[in-house]
Amino acid sequence: MFATLTIQDEGGTRETIDAGVAILQDMLPIADRKIRTTASAKHLTVGLQCGGSDGYSGISANPALGAAVDLLVRNGGTAILSETPEIYGAEHLLTARAASSEVAEKLMSRVRWWEAYTHKHGGNMNNNPSPGNQAGGITTILEKSLGAVAKAGSGGLMAVYEYAQPVHVHGLVFMDTPGYDPVSATGQVAGGANLICFTTGRGSTYGCKPTPSLKLATHTALFKRMSMDMDFDCGGIVDGYMTIAQAGELLFDLMLSTASGQRTKSELHGLGDNEFLPWQLGAVM
């Protein structure tokens, strides 16, 4: 059952809300007939994000997420790597794994577009992405990019999509987005991501309604300090009592649990209402 409403046709905001509530009440008997069943992990599409990175991002949280992505892909799921400015200088690590020369060329064409786009606006792709990254201990864009690419695991790159295009290919894919996390994740969700995994070393609290957003802390001190916001502690890798593979297995289990209905910290605390932010290009008239 599908229904639409227009405020003007209904006579105003309050009238539209009342009409919407009435429609939902009519839908409840239909929803009640649905029965939860076991589903394959092939239905899981995970958007990969990193923000507020620090010096640990490239050695703990990002590789752990990459290990989980390998398990996801092995079980038929899909992972969307994005943030084109933040793979700059490491794109060869992805083209070397491309499923075809056409896929590799499509990725490089997006990199060239970004070079021209930033030059047009007086920018430089070779600059460090943000003051927050610098404060976290990252000194060059290459350091950031090498860590960011680690989120993608070790599998083949199966397809490249432009911003917000529907993702139909299973496995690891790339979507061209800015590095700004809310804009990037919005494109991933529009393309079909039904879960976000967000690595952070400085404590990003990105909630991303309506899609659950798991925050992966790069070190245990952050995980403990921001226990209301962080969902997974990758600090065991830094402290030496957990391997990347072990962390990846635990994270993959958490991804499946979240997809099965276990709520993230953001959902538990009602965060993420204002995180939807499409990418605007050109003049706004």
Q: Considering the domain boundaries, does residue 264 fall inside one?
A: yes
pLDDT (tens digit, 9 = 90+) per residue, 239-283?
999 999 999 999 999 999 999 999 999 999 998 888 889 998 877
- 282 assigned to some structural domain: no
| Domain count across the chain | 1
Taking the C-alpha atoms of residue 68 and residue 255, their distance in angstroms, rounded to an integer, is: 9
For residue 213, CA distances in Å to 155, 205, 216, 271 come to 23, 9, 10, 10
Give CA–CA dist 198/48, Å, rounded.
6
In tens, the pLDDT along 63-120 reads: 999 999 999 999 999 999 999 999 999 999 999 999 999 999 999 999 999 999 988 8
Residue 86 falls inside a structural domain? yes
Enclosing domain of residue 50: 42-268
Measured in whole angstroms, the distance separating CA 49 from the mean position of its chain's CA atoms is 4
Confidence of residue 3 (pLDDT cuts 50, 70, 90): very high
Q: What is the pLDDT of residues 199-224, one digit of tens each?
A: 999 999 999 988 999 999 999 999 99
**Is 132 domain-assigned?**
yes
Considering the domain boundaries, does residue 16 fall inside one?
A: no
Residue 14 is assigned to a structural domain of this protein: no
Q: Which of 17-26, 72-81, 202-211, 227-236 has the lowest mean pLDDT?
A: 202-211
Could you tell me if residue 273 is inside a domain? Answer: no
Q: Enter the pTM of the model.
A: 0.91
Share of the chain above pLDDT 70, in %: 94
**129-182 confidence digits (pLDDT tens):** 566 666 666 666 666 787 889 999 999 999 999 999 999 999 999 999 999 999
In a domain, 164, yes or no: yes
pLDDT at position 139, please? 65
Mean pLDDT for the chain overall: 93
